[in-house]
Structure 1
Amino acid sequence: MMLRLSALAMIAASPAWAAPAGKPFFSLYNTDLIVLMAFIIFIGILVYFKVPEKVSGLLDSRAVGIQSELDEARRLREEALALHASFERRHAEVKDDAARIVEKAKADAQLAAKQAKDEIEASIARRLKGAEEQIASAEAAAIRDVRNKAVAIAIAAAGDMMAKQMDADGNDALVQKAIASAQEHLH
């Protein structure tokens, strides 16, 4: 490649283009020739000290470094994609778990509501039974009170009637009869 560049530089520096007016081509007055010779010497020094191979080696090592960086980036990208996929799977699992938890909570809430309803119905039934028992007890007490009052009134009425119909001799006869009955039972 360097040889091709050198040949191209020589053709570009042909005497027709480089010669100043009235001066020979190969003279120190021709600056183009001086520049061309310096360039050729510079290229020769670069080739002698193997600079193109060193530059090529540096470029190759740089290319290897870039390739290793690209490989590392590709590996990191694949790891990131795998990690992203695992996060997506985990997200889906968490979402499914959350849906199951919500469904279980709904079922538990419905069960708790049914149990509360059953307990309320049982409580209402117990209270109704207690109220019915209290009503029956109050009714029995009222009937007993009415009977007791009726008996008391009947006794008082009978006593008044007997008091009106009895005289002192009838009272003595009743007392004597009661005493005789008591003596028979005692002996």
Structure 2
Amino acid sequence: MKKLAVIAATGLSAGPAFAATGPFFSLRNTDFIVLVSFLAFVGVLLYFKVPSRIGALLDSRAAGIRRDLDEAKRLREEAQEIYASYERRQREVAGQADQIVANAKREAEAQAAKAKADLKSSIERRLKAAEDQIASAEADAVRAVRDRAVQAAIAAASSLLAQQVGAGQRSAGIDEAIDDVARRLN
């Protein structure tokens, strides 16, 4: 503490006011002129109420800043509410999207099962139609072979009868043989 007092005393004693020669309250002393000019300047400022005007400007500026801060706070709260509503909407939309995907999967599986059943029934119908065609072709082939056999038998019988029977009996025997073959085939 004593050191601080010594430093302050030496600093004040070495000031420019003590370096000047002559009386302090003289117009030749520059320090006095500066002091008077400063006091006159402060007086003019006080006379024109500059400090109160500066204070009013600072107060209005502070009020503007306060309004801006309140507005910013209100906007922040609105933004948080909007953000929360968007998050809720996003969760709802995500849930709906999951439901849509699940429904689409179920519908796709149902469609696939239906298509599989339709394909299976179509294949069965085609197989049945092919089997029916094969059976029909088989019956036609059997009928054709039977008809050929009948024709061959008739031709063979006709030629045998023609050799065995004479010319007069030929026509009566042929008629009888034809009737006999026709009765046996039907």
Specify the TM-score bucket, using the shorter chain as the normaliser.
0.7 to 0.9
Instruction: Give the C-alpha shift of residue 56 in structure 1.
Output: 1.0
Between the aligned partners of 2:73 and 2:150, the Cα distance in structure 1 is 113
What root-mean-square deviation, in Å, do the aligned CA atoms of Structure 1 and Structure 2 show?
2.5
- Partner of 1:22, secondary structure, is coil
Between the aligned partners of 2:43 and 2:89, the Cα distance in structure 1 is 66
Query: Could you report, residue by residue, the CA deviation over 1:105-145 in whole angstroms, capped at 9, with x for unpaired residues?
Result: 22222122112111111110011000100111011111111
Alignment check: 8 A CA contact 1:20 1:30 kept: no
**Residue of structure 2 equivalent to 1:123:** 122
Query: In 2 relative to 1, CA 20–154 (structure 1 residues): closer, same or farther, beyond 3 Å?
Result: same
Instruction: Give the C-alpha shift of residue 50 in structure 1.
Output: 2.0
Same amino acid, percent of matched pairs: 53
Instruction: Give the C-alpha shift of residue 20 in structure 1.
Output: 4.3
Between the aligned partners of 2:18 and 2:28, the Cα distance in structure 1 is 9
1:54 has 2:53 as partner: yes
> Within 5 Å, which residues of 2 pair with 1:10-29?
18-29=17-28
For structure 1, the 5+ residue unaligned runs are 1-12, 179-187
Between the aligned partners of 2:124 and 2:63, the Cα distance in structure 1 is 89
- Runs of 4 or more consecutive aligned structure 1 residues displaced over 6 Å after TM superposition: none
What is the one-letter code of the residue matched to 2:17? A
Between the aligned partners of 1:87 and 1:169, the Cα distance in structure 2 is 117
**Residue of structure 1 equivalent to 2:147:** 148
Instruction: Give the C-alpha shift of residue 17 in structure 1.
Output: 5.4
Between the aligned partners of 1:26 and 1:170, the Cα distance in structure 2 is 190
Structure 1-normalised TM-score? 0.77
Between the aligned partners of 2:20 and 2:63, the Cα distance in structure 1 is 53
Instruction: Give the C-alpha shift of residue 167 in structure 1.
Output: 0.7
Between the aligned partners of 1:104 and 1:84, the Cα distance in structure 2 is 30
Between the aligned partners of 1:41 and 1:21, the Cα distance in structure 2 is 22
User: Higher relative contact order by CA 8 Å / sep ≥ 6: 1 or 2?
Assistant: 1
> Within 5 Å, which residues of 2 pair with 1:1-187?
18-171=17-170, 174=172
For structure 2, the 5+ residue unaligned runs are 1-11, 177-186
- Partner of 2:22, secondary structure, is coil
**Residue of structure 1 equivalent to 2:180:** none
Query: In 2 relative to 1, CA 25–168 (structure 1 residues): closer, same or farther, beyond 3 Å?
Result: closer
- Partner of 1:26, secondary structure, is coil
What is the one-letter code of the residue matched to 1:63? A
Alignment check: 8 A CA contact 2:162 2:170 kept: no
Equivalenced residue count is 163
**Residue of structure 2 equivalent to 1:7:** none
Alignment check: 8 A CA contact 1:19 1:30 kept: no
Between the aligned partners of 1:132 and 1:99, the Cα distance in structure 2 is 49
Structure 2-normalised TM-score? 0.78
Instruction: Give the C-alpha shift of residue 97 in structure 1.
Output: 2.2
Alignment check: 8 A CA contact 2:45 2:51 kept: yes
Alignment check: 8 A CA contact 2:25 2:32 kept: yes
